[in-house]
Structure 1
Amino acid sequence: MAMASKHRASALKQQNKKHKVLGHRTKGQLSKVNKGRVAISAQSRRAKKEMSREQRKNQMKQIRSQKRDEAMSQKRSVGTANNPPFLVTIVPLSPDINPRKVVSALTSCDPEATTTTSAQGIVHLSSMRYKQRFSFIIPPVNDLYAILDSVKVSNTLMLLWPPRDEVEDAAELVLSSIMAQALPATIHIAASMDDMAHKATSGVPEEMDTGSLDEELSSRLVLGPSPAKKSNRKMQMRQRVVKEIESRFPGNAKLFTLESDQDAMLILRHIGSQKQRSIFFKDNRPHMMAEKVEFEEKGPTGTLKVYGYVRGQPLSVNGLVHVPGWGDFQMSHTYLLEDPHPLERRGKNATMTNDEPQLIEEADPEHQETLVSTNEVDPMEGEQTWPTQEELEEAEENVKPKPRTKRVPKGTSEYQAAWILDSEDPEGANYDDKYDYKEDMDALEKLRAARDDAEFPDEIDTPKDIPSRIRFQKYRGLQSFRTSAWTPMKNLPLIIREIFQFKNFFHSKKRILKEEREGAMPGWYIIVHIQDVPRHLYDSQVTSQAPLVIFGLLPHEQKMSVMNIVIKSHSLGHYRPIKSKERLIFHVGFRRFANSPIFSEHSTGNKHKFARFFHPGTTVVASMFAPITFPPVSVLMFRERPDGAQDLVGTGSLYDMNPKRIVVKRVVLSGFPFKINRKSAVIRHMFFNREDILWFKPVELRTKWGRRGHIKEALGTHGHMKCYFDGQLKAQDTILLNLYKRMFPKWTFDPHAARPPPLYTFRTSGKEADSSDEENEENQPAKKARVVQFHNSGL
Structure 2
Amino acid sequence: RLAPKTLSKKVRKELSRVDQRHRASQLRKQKKEAVLAGKRQLGSRDGPPHQVLVVPLHNRISLPEAFQLLQDRDGGIVHLNEWGSTHSFMLLCPRLKHRWFFTSARPGDLHTVLDMAKVADTILFLLDPLEGWDSTGNYCLSCLFAQGLPTYTLAVQGVSSLPLKKQIDVRKKLSKAVEKRFPDDKLFLLDTQQEAGMLFRQLANQKRRHLAFRDRRAYLFAHAADFVPNEENNSVGTLKISGYVRGQTLNVNSLLHIIGHGDFQMKQIDAPMDPFPLNPRVIKSQKDPDMEMEICAIDAVADMEEDLKVLMKADPDRQESLQTEAIPDPMEGEQTWPTEEELSEANVKESSKVVKKVPKGTSSYQAEWILDEDGESSGEGDEYDDTEHEDFMDEESQDESSEEEEEEECETMTIGESVRDDLYDEKVDEEAEEKMLEKYKQERLEEMFPDEVDTPRGVAARIRFQKYRGLKSFRTSPWDPKENLPPDYARIFQFQNFTNTRKSIFKEIEEKEVEGAEVGWYVTLHISEVPVSVVEYFRQGAPLIAFSLLPHEQKMSVLNMVVRRDPGNIEPVKAKEELIFHCGFRRFRASPLFSQHTSADKHKFQRFLTADVALVVTVYAPITFPPASVLLFKQKSNGMHNLIATGHLLSVDPDRMVIKRVVLSGHPFKIFTKMAVVRYMFFNREDVLWFKPVELRTKWGRRGHIKEPLGTHGHMKCSFDGKLKSQDTVLMNLYKRVFPKWTYDPHVPEPVPWVKSEISSTVPEVSME
Q: TM-score, structure 2 length as denominator?
A: 0.80
For 2:121, give the aligned amino acid: N
Shift of 1:601: 0.7
Map of 2:638 onto structure 1? 643
Indicate if the aligned counterparts of 2:451 and 2:663 stay in contact, CA closer than 8 A: yes
Map of 1:256 onto structure 2? 188
Map of 1:325 onto structure 2? 260
> Deviations along 1:11-37, whole A, 9 cap, x unmatched?
xxxxxxxxxxxxxxxxxxxxxxxx999
Aligned with 1:577 (options 555, 572, 575) = 572
Query: Is 1:95 the equivalent of 2:75?
Result: no
> Deviations along 1:599-633, whole A, 9 cap, x unmatched?
00111211111000002333210000000000010
Map of 2:390 onto structure 1? none
Query: Is 1:130 the equivalent of 2:90?
Result: no
CA RMSD of aligned residues (A): 2.5
For 2:274, give the aligned amino acid: D
Map of 1:563 onto structure 2? 559
Map of 2:437 onto structure 1? 444
Indicate if the aligned counterparts of 2:594 and 2:609 stay in contact, CA closer than 8 A: yes
Map of 1:212 onto structure 2? none
Shift of 1:266: 1.6
Where in structure 1 are there 5+ consecutive unaligned residues?
1-34, 198-229, 387-433, 762-795
Map of 1:163 onto structure 2? 129
Map of 1:542 onto structure 2? 539
Shift of 1:486: 1.0
1:140-289 alignment, distance < 5 Å: 140-165=106-131, 167-195=133-161, 197=162, 230-251=163-184, 253-289=185-221
Query: Is 1:50 the equivalent of 2:15?
Result: yes
Query: Could you say what secondary structure the match of 1:713 adopts?
Result: strand
Describe the shift of the 1:240–1:318 C-alpha distance in structure 2 as closer, same or farther (beyond 3 A). Answer: same
1:420-435 alignment, distance < 5 Å: none
Indicate if the aligned counterparts of 2:159 and 2:189 stay in contact, CA closer than 8 A: no
Q: Distance in 2 between matches of 1:160 and 1:375?
A: 48
> Deviations along 1:645-677, whole A, 9 cap, x unmatched?
111111100000000001111100000011111
Indicate if the aligned counterparts of 1:583 and 1:595 stay in contact, CA closer than 8 A: yes
Map of 1:4 onto structure 2? none
Shift of 1:520: 0.9
Indicate if the aligned counterparts of 2:708 and 2:718 stay in contact, CA closer than 8 A: yes
1:464-483 alignment, distance < 5 Å: 464-483=457-476
Aligned with 1:365 (options 316, 322, 326) = 316
Query: Is 1:291 the equivalent of 2:242?
Result: no
Query: Is 1:745 the equivalent of 2:740?
Result: yes
Map of 1:307 onto structure 2? 242
For 2:79, give the aligned amino acid: T
For 1:274, give the aligned amino acid: Q
Q: Distance in 2 between matches of 1:506 and 1:271?
A: 37
For 1:339, give the aligned amino acid: D
Query: Is 1:652 the equivalent of 2:655?
Result: no
Shift of 1:130: 2.2
Shift of 1:51: 4.6
Describe the shift of the 1:154–1:46 C-alpha distance in structure 2 as closer, same or farther (beyond 3 A). Answer: farther
Where in structure 2 are there 5+ consecutive unaligned residues?
284-291, 338-426, 757-769
Shift of 1:384: 8.5
Map of 1:625 onto structure 2? 620
Shift of 1:95: 2.3
Query: Could you say what secondary structure the match of 2:488 adopts?
Result: helix
For 1:158, give the aligned amino acid: L
> Deviations along 1:566-601, whole A, 9 cap, x unmatched?
0011112x1022100001111111111111100001
State which structure, 1 or 2, has the greater radius of gyration over its C-alpha atoms: 1
Map of 1:499 onto structure 2? 492
For 2:310, give the aligned amino acid: L
> Deviations along 1:237-283, whole A, 9 cap, x unmatched?
222222232220222x2111123322222211211112111111111
Describe the shift of the 1:593–1:686 C-alpha distance in structure 2 as closer, same or farther (beyond 3 A). Answer: same
Query: Could you say what secondary structure the match of 2:61 adopts?
Result: coil
Shift of 1:194: 3.8
Aligned with 1:341 (options 264, 273, 276) = 276
Query: Could you say what secondary structure the match of 2:178 adopts?
Result: helix
Q: Distance in 2 between matches of 1:373 and 1:732?
A: 56
* Equivalent residues, number: 640
Query: Could you say what secondary structure the match of 1:460 adopts?
Result: coil
Map of 1:117 onto structure 2? 80
For 1:137, give the aligned amino acid: T
Indicate if the aligned counterparts of 2:58 and 2:132 stay in contact, CA closer than 8 A: no
For 1:93, give the aligned amino acid: L
Indicate if the aligned counterparts of 1:118 and 1:292 stay in contact, CA closer than 8 A: no
Map of 1:529 onto structure 2? 526
For 1:279, give the aligned amino acid: L
Indicate if the aligned counterparts of 1:161 and 1:241 stay in contact, CA closer than 8 A: no
Indicate if the aligned counterparts of 2:108 and 2:140 stay in contact, CA closer than 8 A: no
Map of 1:604 onto structure 2? 599
> Deviations along 1:289-333, whole A, 9 cap, x unmatched?
111122222222122111100001111111111111111111112
Shift of 1:73: 1.8
Query: Is 1:70 the equivalent of 2:70?
Result: no
For 1:553, give the aligned amino acid: L
Give the percent of matched residue pairs that are identical in Structure 1 and Structure 2: 45
Query: Could you say what secondary structure the match of 2:533 adopts?
Result: helix
> Deviations along 1:351-373, whole A, 9 cap, x unmatched?
16122321111122221111110
Q: Distance in 1 between matches of 2:551 and 2:116?
A: 24
